[in-house]
């Protein structure tokens, strides 16, 4: 079972029905992805709720004044059955610079712009637009 794909689908489904927030089971990877989404302005807030072993991640989703979600598209690129890697010199703007990749590098998760600045490649986790 791919927990990252499940997490991304939960975000997509919550945005489709215009939920104000989303609560998912905590994992370090999900928390790092949510922090990147927060830094990029795709969500409003992320908090850890509860204590171990029942830790949860509460994500406050972001919409504009017309109710249109900030995340138009979010999809998994590298899957357990087919891993996708990218070199630092292959990193290019996504969706004319409006989209982002989340990349797992040797120095942790980061978006494609940070990875390009630090000259790092890695596994492409997902694409956000």
Please determine, for residue 1, whether its predicted confidence score (pLDDT) is greater than 80: no
CATH numeric code, 74-128: 3.30.1490.10
Tokens found for residue 4: 């990252």
Per residue in 12-40, pLDDT (tens digit) is 999 999 999 999 999 999 999 999 999 99
Residue 3 is predicted with a pLDDT of: 93
Per residue in 71-96, pLDDT (tens digit) is 999 999 999 999 999 999 999 988 88
Q: Record the pTM.
A: 0.92
Domain segments of the chain as ranges? 3-61, 74-128
Per residue in 34-76, pLDDT (tens digit) is 999 999 999 999 999 998 889 999 999 999 999 999 999 999 9
- For residue 12, the Cα-to-chain-centroid distance in whole angstroms is 11
Question: Any idea which architecture 3-61 has in CATH?
Answer: 2-Layer Sandwich (3.30)
* Burial annotation 67-98 (CB, 10 A radius, 16+ → b, else e): eebbbeebebbbeeeeeeebebeebeebeeee
């Amino acid at each position: 079972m791919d927990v990252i794909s499940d997490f991304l689908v939960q975000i997509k489904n919550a945005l489709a029905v215009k939920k104000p927030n989303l609560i998912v089971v905590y994992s370090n990877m999900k928390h790092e992805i949510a922090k990147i989404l927060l830094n990029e302005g795709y969500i409003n807030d992320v908090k850890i709720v509860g204590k171990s072993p029942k830790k949860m991640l509460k994500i406050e989703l972001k919409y504009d004044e017309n109710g249109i979600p900030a995340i138009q598209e979010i999809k998994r690129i590298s899957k357990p059955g087919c891993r996708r890697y990218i070199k630092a010199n292959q990193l290019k703007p996504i969706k004319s610079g409006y989209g982002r990749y989340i990349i797992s590098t040797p120095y942790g998760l980061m978006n494609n712009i940070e990875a390009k600045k630090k000259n790092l490649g890695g596994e492409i986790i997902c694409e956000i637009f």
